[in-house]
Amino acid sequence: KAGVTQTPRYLIKTRGQQVTLSCSPISGHRSVSWYQQTPGQGLQFLFEYFSETQRNKGNFPGRFSGRQFSNSRSEMNVSTLELGDSALYLCASSLSLAGESDTQYFGPGTRLTVL
């Protein structure tokens, strides 16, 4: 079974631009979560989607948004990019929404650099 895939793997943008990152979960998984990883702040939860609905949201400004499609694929969008948005963005998928045996499987991440 294929793992979690994220595209693109690397991205370079300039301040003020917007960016869209994509995540395809493991087949059959319906929950997708997004995390931002930076050297200074570590791993921080952005949001989680399940059945095309945002179920949980972290403490990030409204410039960060996401959505999930009927096939469970998810995208996250960052508008008006700032230098501080440079990070590794990780996507994780799991079978359901916090089921007892659920485990999150992570993708390889998208490395975003904002110049």
Partner 1 sequence: AQTVTQSQPEMSVQEAETVTLSCTYDTSESDYYLFWYKQPPSRQMILVIRQEAYKQQNATENRFSVNFQKAAKSFSLKISDSQLGDAAMYFCAYRAITGGGNKLTFGTGTQLKVEL
- Residues at the contact surface with partner 1, assessed by CB under 8 A: 3-4, 31, 33, 35, 42-45, 48, 50, 55-56, 58, 90, 92, 94, 97-98, 102-109
CB of 18 to partner 1, least distance (A): 25
β 53-57/110-114 pair status: unpaired
Taking the least distance from each CB to partner 1, the nearer of 78 and 92 is: 92
CB of 83 to partner 1, least distance (A): 22
Which residues make beta-bridge pairs with 91? Answer: 34
Whether the Cβ atoms of residue 2 and residue 105 lie closer than 8 Å to each other: no
Phi, psi dihedrals of residue 10, rounded to the nearest 5°: -135, 145
Helix (H) or strand (E) holding 31: strand 31-38
Taking the least distance from each CB to partner 1, the nearer of 21 and 92 is: 92
CB of 65 to partner 1, least distance (A): 17
CB of 80 to partner 1, least distance (A): 25
Taking the C-alpha atoms of 55, 58, 62 and 65 in order, what is their torsion angle to the nearest 10 degrees? -50
